[in-house]
Amino acid sequence: MTNLTELKTIRDYIRLATTRFNAANLYYGHGTDNAWDEAIALVLHTLHLPHDVSGVVLDANLLDEEKKQLNELIKQRIEKNIPVPYLTHQAFFSGLPYYVDERVLIPRSPIAELIENQFAPWIAADAVHNILDLCTGSGCIAIACAKNFPDAQVDAVDISTDALAVAKINVLRHGVEDQVQLIESDLFSAVPKKQYDIIVSNPPYVSTQEMFDLPSEYQHEPEMALAAGTAGLDFALRILREAHKYLQPDGILIVEVGNSEHALAEQFPQIPFTWLEFERGGGGVFMLTAEQLGEL
């Protein structure tokens, strides 16, 4: 991709990647929002260096084999539009690193902020003993819940055996195998017959039209984890119909529906959705109490 003798240092490659990413007009939406941060994520992770590495280290010379590896990854990012987390097999969620590959969505949900705040003020943390994570994917939501509610049990559900295999890697990586149970299930179909204090879900919610309009980067993610029918509501509607059967009387339901927020609100004007706001940005996440669900 480039003459290896022209570039010598880590800083050179961060600059090179930034320049080429900008020139390629890539789409950023998988952990970064600009070429510079994308370049740093790619280069430093590939070299097994922390993101807060000293500036002195950035001026270290690279080995030829390191240059070749970086050139190849930069090339794949540009020519194949592969998101950086799939190239590095690492993404962050709620401050924790997760293994990811093309069997799962790349973690990016604003629900992380809710988990870090222990879902306050919607439920008391000491009242949370059982949590259900529907459509767990990489397991990031379930594992973050386990870390923030160390005395709670978390059931993590997905219909995809491939996704559950990735989730298992992350459950073991973070040492929460005694807290998090992985369950193969089509939403509630194989969920244990018990009541949860919190049901949380980031299900597929991309409408048919939006699927056609997605940037190339999203084509690398599993379609079954994105597509949710004409209005993007196929899974959200199923969750709304069944969730009350699995919630404690004081429990809450949290569901992300992204851009399908307006379609859901228009379809059910009688439902008192609480649409949550986030300090770090993002939206399309609603909360309903068990009492509100019981009235549907």
As a whole number, mean pLDDT of residues 108-122 equals 96
Q: Are 254 and 119 in contact (CB under 8 A)?
A: yes
172 pLDDT band, cuts 50/70/90, is very high
Are 120 and 256 within one domain? yes
Q: Are residues 97 and 136 both part of a single domain?
A: yes
Do 10 and 57 share a domain, yes or no?
yes
End of a domain among 88, 108, 136?
A: 88
Domain boundary pick from 68, 88, 108:
88
Same domain, 135 and 118: yes
Q: What secondary structure letter does DSSP report for 97?
A: E
How far, in Å, CA of 240 to CA of 250, rounded?
16
* Shared domain check, 196 and 73: no
Q: What is the pLDDT of residue 54?
A: 84
Regarding whether 98 and 80 lie in a shared domain, the answer is no
246: pLDDT strictly greater than 90: yes
For the chain, the average pLDDT equals: 94
3 or 202: which leads in pLDDT: 202
| SS3 of residue 157 by DSSP | strand
Residues 51 and 164 in one domain: no
Is the pLDDT confidence value at 291 over 80? yes
Look-up of token digits 């022209």: 6
- What is the tens place of the pLDDT at every residue in 12-70? 999 999 999 999 989 999 989 999 999 999 999 999 998 888 888 999 999 999 999 99
* Whether residue 174 sits in one domain with residue 34: no
| CATH, residue 178 | 3.40.50.150
* 274 band by pLDDT with thresholds 50, 70 and 90: very high
Say whether pLDDT at 255 is over 80: yes
Structural domains in the chain (count): 2
pLDDT class for 3, splitting at 50, 70, 90? low
The predicted model gives 169-194 an average pLDDT of 97
Q: Which domain holds residue 238?
A: 93-294
- Dihedral-angle region of residue 238 (phi above 0 means left; psi in -120 to 50 means alpha; beta otherwise): alpha
Q: How far apart are CA 276 and CA 122, in angstroms?
A: 11
| Amino acid at position 120, single letter | A
Specify whether 83 is located in the same domain as 183: no
Choose the final residue of a domain: 29, 59, 88: 88
Q: Both 108 and 248 in a single domain?
A: yes
Amino acid identity for residue 198 in this structure? I
Please answer whether residues 143 and 180 qualify as being in contact, where contact means their C-beta atoms are separated by less than 8 angstroms. Answer: yes
Are 144 and 239 part of one and the same domain?
yes
Closest by CA position to 254, among listed 146, 118, 143, 95 = 118
Whether residues 78 and 187 fall in one domain: no
Residue 4: per-residue pLDDT: 56
Which has more pLDDT, 171 or 31? 171
